[in-house]
Amino acid sequence: MRTSLAPGIKLITSLSRDNWYRYFTLFLTFLFYTSYHLSRKPISIVKSELHRNCSLVIHPPDLNITNNDTWCDWAPFDQDDYQKLFGLLDNAFLVAYAIGMFFSGIFGERLPLRYYLTSGMLLSGLFTSLFGLGFYWNIHSVWYYAFVQVMNGLVQTTGWPAVVACVGNWFGKGKRGLIMGVWNSHTSVGNILGSLIAGAYVSSAWGLSFIVPGIIIACAGVICFLFLVEKPEDVNCTLPQHHESAEQEPLLRNSSSNEEIFNGHTSTAVEPAQEHAEAISFCGALRIPGVVEFSLCLLFAKLVSYTFLYWLPLYIANVAHFDPKKAGDLSTLFDVGGILGGILAGLVSDYTGGRATTCCVMLIVAAPMLFLYNKIGQNGLATTTGMLLFCGALVNGPYALITTAVSADLGTHESLRGNARALSTVTAIIDGTGSIGAALGPLLAGLISPTGWNNVFYMLISADVLACLFLCRLVYKEVRRWCGYTTRPRGFKEI
C-alpha cells in the first residue's frame, strides 16, 4: 500500500519548471539587494562610536589624557563640527549614487545583467572593506573616507536597476504589487542585518563593522555569477504577461501622452513582448505617463527614508541616551515597520488598482505620525517601539511601492509596445531622482540638527507633504476611474 507524499514533497512537485525558475530568481535578487543595503548601513551605526561622550567612558589609568571630552573619539571626528563631517561622508556616498544612477540604467540595458551585478557587488565589497580598513591602518584623513564613500556610491548603482529588471522580466502584472511588496523587504532586511552586524563590532573594533558586510556582498557577487538567469527565454521558460487585456483600463493610462514612444503613431492594441534592437532613450522614458510624477514624489519620500537610515541611531543615542549598540538595535524597529508597510502598500494597491492613491494616503498619515514620534517617541520603551514601527511602515511603504511595482509597471507600459529593454532605464530614472532626495535628506539633517532635532522633523514633515502634492494629478485620475469615468487615448478602439 502506497503512503501519501509528505506535504513538503507535494509542494515541491506541484511547482512547474517555470515557477521554479521564477521563484529562484526572486530569491536570488532578494539576497543580492539585501547584501547591497547590508553594506550601506554600518556608517549610521559607527557614527556614534566615532564621536561619543568620552567623559562617560572609563579609560585605562596609564593613558595620558589631556582632554577628557574627546580622548575616545576617532580623529578627525573629535571636533565640534563632527556633524558636518558625518554629513560630508553621507553625501559623498549619496551624491555619487544619485549621479551614477542615471547612467547605471543605460549601462544596465546594454550589458548582461549577470556580469553587471557581479562586478558591482565585488567592487562594493572592496570599497566597503576599505572604509573599515581605515581603523586598522590608523587613517585619520576625512578625505580618505570621503573618497571611499564616493567610489562605493558609484558602484552600488549597479544594484537597483539590474535586480528590478530581472524581476520585471520574470513576473507579469498579475499580483505584482504584493509580490514586489514582499520582495522589497530586502531593503529593510538588509538594514536590520547591517545594523546587527555593525553593532556586534562597533564598540570593540569598528573596522569589522565594515569589513564583514564587505565580505558578505562580495560572496553574493560570486553567487550571482554562478546562478542568475536574467530572462525566461534564456532557459526556454514561458514569458510573463506584462499588460492588461484591451478591455481593461490600464493602471496609468494617460489620454494625452499614451502615444507610441518610438515612432510617433498611436497604438491600437497591445503587441506581444519582443526584444527591440534599440534601447529606449532618456527622453523617451520621461514621456511614459506617470514617470515624472512618481520620480518627483520619490525624491521627497526617499529624502525622509534616508534621513532615518543615516541619522536615526544617532538621534536615539542623543535623545534617549542609549549606547551606540543599543541605539543601533532599537533603530532596526523602523526597518521592521518598513517591511510591513511595503507589503501592505503592495497588497492594497493590487486590490484597488490605485498605486498613486495608496502612496498618497500613506504619506498623508505619515506626517502627523512623525510629529508625534518626535514629541512622545522617547516616553518609555513600549511607546518608542510602537512609534518606530508605525513611522517605518508609513515612511517606507510608499518608497517601496514606487521603486518596485510602480517602476516595473511603467518600465513595461503598453505604450512601449513590448520593448523589454526600457525597464532598466525607467527604473534608473525613478530611483535616480529619488536618490537626489536621499542625498539632500542626510545633508539637511546634518546642517539643521545643531539647531535642534525639532527642526529636523519639521523638515521631514514638509518633505512628506510635497511628495503628496506631486501625486495629485494621478490620484485624481484614479478616483475618476473608480467612479466610472474612463478616458481612452486618441485612436484607441475597443475590441
CATH of the domain at 114: 1.20.1250.20
Residue whose entry in the numeric block shows the C-alpha cell 545633508: 443
Task: Tell me what pLDDT residue 226 has.
Answer: 95
Q: How many CB atoms lie within 10 A of CB 119?
A: 16
CA distances from 10 to 7, 237, 408 (A): 5, 22, 32
Q: Which residue has the higher pLDDT, 72 or 192?
A: 192
Q: What is the mean pLDDT of residues 236-246?
A: 64
Confidence of residue 34 (pLDDT cuts 50, 70, 90): very high
> Is 11 part of any domain?
no
* pLDDT(36) > 90: yes
Distance CA 152, CA 126 (A): 8
The CA R_g of the chain, rounded to the nearest whole Å, is: 23
> Tens of pLDDT along 449-481?
888 888 999 999 999 999 999 989 889 888 888
> Tens of pLDDT along 435-451?
888 888 888 887 888 88
Cβ atoms 154, 136 nearer than 8 A: no
Cβ atoms 468, 363 nearer than 8 A: yes
Q: How is 4-48 classified by DSSP, letter by letter?
A: PPPHHHHHHHHS-HHHHHHHHHHHHHHHHHHHHHHHHTHHHHHHH
> Is 179 part of any domain?
yes
Task: Tell me what pLDDT residue 276 has.
Answer: 44
> Is 416 part of any domain?
yes
CA distances from 282 to 113, 274, 344 (A): 19, 20, 32
Distance CA 440, CA 436 (A): 6
- Please count the structural domains in the chain: 1
> Is 89 part of any domain?
yes
* pLDDT(264) > 50: no
Task: Tell me what pLDDT residue 277 has.
Answer: 42
> Is 9 part of any domain?
no
Confidence of residue 164 (pLDDT cuts 50, 70, 90): confident
Task: Tell me what pLDDT residue 212 has.
Answer: 96
Q: What is the mean pLDDT of residues 201-205?
A: 85
> Tens of pLDDT along 74-99?
788 888 778 788 888 888 998 898 88
- The 3 state secondary structure assigned to 138-201 is CCCCHHHHHHHHHHHHHHHCCHHHHHHHHHHHHCCCCCHHHHHHHHCCHHHHHHHHHHHHHHHH
Q: What is the mean pLDDT of residues 234-243?
A: 75
* pLDDT(422) > 70: no
Cβ atoms 417, 260 nearer than 8 A: yes
Distance CA 30, CA 120 (A): 16
- Average pLDDT value over all residues in the chain: 79
Strand partners, 419: 274
Task: Tell me what pLDDT residue 242 has.
Answer: 54
> Is 493 part of any domain?
no
Task: Tell me what pLDDT residue 250 has.
Answer: 43
Q: What is the mean pLDDT of residues 95-123?
A: 86
The x, y and z cell numbers of residue 113, run together, are: 545583467
> Is 312 part of any domain?
yes
CA distances from 421 to 22, 150, 234, 261, 395 (A): 19, 28, 15, 13, 31
* pLDDT(121) > 80: yes
Q: What is the mean pLDDT of residues 327-342?
A: 86
* pLDDT(29) > 90: yes
> Is 491 part of any domain?
no
* pLDDT(265) > 80: no
Q: What percent of the chain has pLDDT over 90?
A: 26
Note down the domain range covering 192.
Answer: 16-51+75-267+274-482
Q: What is the pTM of this model?
A: 0.72
Q: What is the mean pLDDT of residues 177-184?
A: 76
Tell which residue, 206, 225, 236, has the closest CA to residue 324.
Answer: 206
* pLDDT(492) > 50: no
* pLDDT(488) > 80: no
- 3-class DSSP state for residue 419? strand
